[in-house]
Amino acid sequence: MNVHEYQGKELLAKFGVAIPAGFAAFSVEEAVEAAKKLPGPLYVVKSQIHAGGRGKGKFKELPADAKGGVRLAFNLDEVASHAKEMLGNTLVTVQTGEAGKQVNRLYITDGVDIAKEYYLSLLVDRATGRVAFIVSTEGGMDIEAVAHDTPEKIATVTVDPATGFQPHHGRAIAFALKLKGDTNKQAQLLAKQLYDAFLSLDCAMLEINPLVEDVNGKLLVLDTKMSFDSNALYRHPDVVELRDETEEDPAEIEASKYDLAYIKLDGNIGCMVNGAGLAMATMDIIKLHGAFPANFLDVGGGATTEKVTAAFKIILSDPAVEGILVNIFGGIMKCDIIAAGIVAAAKEVNLSVPLVVRLEGTNVDLGKEILNNSGLPIVAANDLGDAAKKIVAEVKKA
Ligand code: ADP
Ligand code: MG
């Protein structure tokens, strides 16, 4: 789960992190009211969407030479005019894809007199199984280019969970950022605060880009991107409250209501599978036979007719889907119950694309009989390879 920049900053402030003052705003009036509460004379009006690259982003509805999604304002009138141009419009950035994202919220914050921009992020490094800090002296808007062109300018500091964060981690981070004197000390403290926040909030990723040093030598967090481990959200009701469903894929929201693990992908073969491992294998084998999965979907161990129907509807709501492959292993669930569920669901949704079903496990013969006698054009498959071949062939035929 992701949150907006202003929400991430509010969470980090509780850990003592130094952040410029700012307020969220949902209308032009609120934006001006927010600015009035700030000292001025420089304000920054920031579009709040779940994507980075806003500064260099473009609004679909505005002329090509219009300013991006992060703008400086030198008085209240400019705050108002920027807010007016952003709210309700669609911001396209390198991270949103062509469709862009509609801006429904703004963050009005203190303008900072920046001396230098740095990059700092924390993530769970899968290779080492540890939390890692990734830092660079080359912060700002193009960290991807830095990583690509000058990877030596990016340093990694990993933290052993057995010892936790130690003062030497802070020193290594401040050293990698080439900071001196008091700014160096501020960076060490900040690293500790961010590590505490990352762990306590069960973050998956926490990115500060840019971290800035202002003209008075103060280190400030100017932008945050935060995402949370969804398996740990039950421990953080306050974080769950920050969820903004308008930023998420509607099909994924629908799936989460039925406890279905659904992720939309780019291909044209819809998959309905039980068990994450089997779902991965199914996607792999579809690719092996020359096609691409339209989604990852794990209906879970205890799939009911209701769940299977919901899953069918979600798969079919994707206009790219040209065929469906159902691959179910009846372990806890029996194959006849699953087959009955598939038939009922296929009838209810008026299935219009080819459907290949591969069942294995308890009561498999009974299950196959139910599919064969259903009167529906369901193609039965004998094993995983057979199923993949058949659905790829069916989709090519259609
Ligand atoms: P994004 O990463 O989505 O483009 P940022 O919040 O990083 O958005 O803003 C882009 C750039 O705008 C920053 O690199 C910084 O130079 C400038 N900026 C952002 N916030 C402020 C601020 N409060 N004061 C001054 N400049 C800012
Ligand atoms: Mg940024």
Ligand 1 atom index nearest CA of 46: 6
d(CA 279, CA 298): 6
Instruction: Quote the ligand 1 centre to 208 CA distance (angstroms).
Output: 11
User: Which mutation among 9, 43, 138, 223 tests ligand 1's pocket best, with the greatest number of atoms within 8 A of CB?
Assistant: 223
Give the angle 18-20-25 at the CA atoms, nearest 5°.
130
Q: Is 397 a residue whose pLDDT tops 90? A: no
Residue with tokens 């009035």: 36
d(CA 263, CA 235): 23
Q: Is 78 a catalytic residue?
A: no
Q: Is 248 a catalytic residue?
A: no
Report domain 114-240's class.
alpha beta
Q: For the chain, what is the mean pLDDT? A: 93
Instruction: Determine contact, residues 344/298, Cβ cutoff 8 Å.
Output: no
Q: How many CB atoms lie within 10 A of CB 73?
A: 22
What is residue 142's predicted lDDT score, i.e. its pLDDT?
81
141 pocket-lining for ligand 1 (C-beta < 6 Å): yes
Tokens, residue 206: 């926490």
What is residue 279's predicted lDDT score, i.e. its pLDDT?
94
What is residue 341's predicted lDDT score, i.e. its pLDDT?
84
Tokens, residue 336: 């006849």
Find the range with the poorest average confidence among 9-23, 139-153, 160-174: 139-153
List phi, psi (to 5°) of 10. -65, -40
- CB-based neighbours (< 5 A) of ligand 2, an ion: 209, 223
User: Residue 221: nearest ligand to its CA?
Assistant: 1
> Under CATH, which number does the domain 250-397 receive?
3.40.50.261
User: Residue 74: nearest ligand to its CA?
Assistant: 1
**Residue bearing the CA closest to ligand 1, atom 19:** 222
For 294-333, write each residue's pLDDT tens digit.
999 998 877 777 888 889 889 988 889 999 999 998 887 7
DSSP notation for 12-49: HHTTT-----EEEESSHHHHHHHHHTS--S-EEEEEE-
For 41-84, write each residue's pLDDT tens digit.
999 999 999 999 999 999 999 999 999 999 999 999 999 999 99
Q: Give me the residue spans of the domains in the chain.
A: 21-110, 114-240, 250-397
Report CA torsion sign: 32, 84, 51, 117: negative
Choose which CATH entry (3.30.1490.20, 3.20.20.70, 3.30.2130.30, 3.40.190.10) describes domain 21-110. 3.30.1490.20
Q: Is 233 a residue whose pLDDT tops 90? A: yes
d(CA 379, CA 371): 9
